[in-house]
């Protein structure tokens, strides 16, 4: 997301709603997301109610002394973006974008989870 603007007073938890400006290739769309599940330290699920509709879910899983983030997204490409054919053509671009986003997220989490060197 380029920008995130909350449209509810709540900025976390079930019921929080945000508009996210998201680059999609050379376009930029606004994706309205509503939090439908919020289990602290475990999972967040959102419904996408904007230009693209569907669900997305992050789930944290402990595995072998490490933490894994599972991400599920079911976001069918709307007809006005080419439907299934548009989805097929955009898949490599979106996969690349998701890899970049997840790498940035991983770096952020790892940086924030390091013990502070300050006294």
- Tell me what pLDDT residue 28 has: 83
Tokens of 74: 């079911």
SS3 14: coil
pLDDT in tens, 74-88: 877 777 777 778 777
pLDDT in tens, 56-108: 999 988 888 888 888 888 877 777 777 778 777 777 877 887 788 788 888 88
Residues paired with 1 in a beta bridge: none
In angstroms, the Cα distances linking 74 to 7, 47, 54, 56, 99 are: 23, 10, 6, 6, 17
């Amino acid at each position: 997301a380029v920008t995130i603007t909350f449209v509810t007073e709540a900025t976390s938890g079930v019921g929080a709603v945000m508009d996210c400006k998201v680059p999609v290739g050379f376009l930029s769309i606004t994706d309205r997301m509503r939090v439908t599940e919020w289990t602290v330290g475990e999972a967040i699920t959102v419904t996408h109610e904007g230009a693209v509709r569907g669900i997305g879910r992050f789930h944290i899983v402990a595995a072998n002394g490490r933490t894994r983030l599972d991400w599920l997204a079911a976001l069918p490409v709307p007809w006005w973006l080419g439907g299934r054919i548009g989805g097929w053509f955009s898949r490599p671009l979106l996969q690349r974008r998701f890899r970049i986003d997840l790498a940035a997220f991983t770096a952020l989490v790892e940086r924030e989870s390091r013990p502070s060197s300050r006294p």
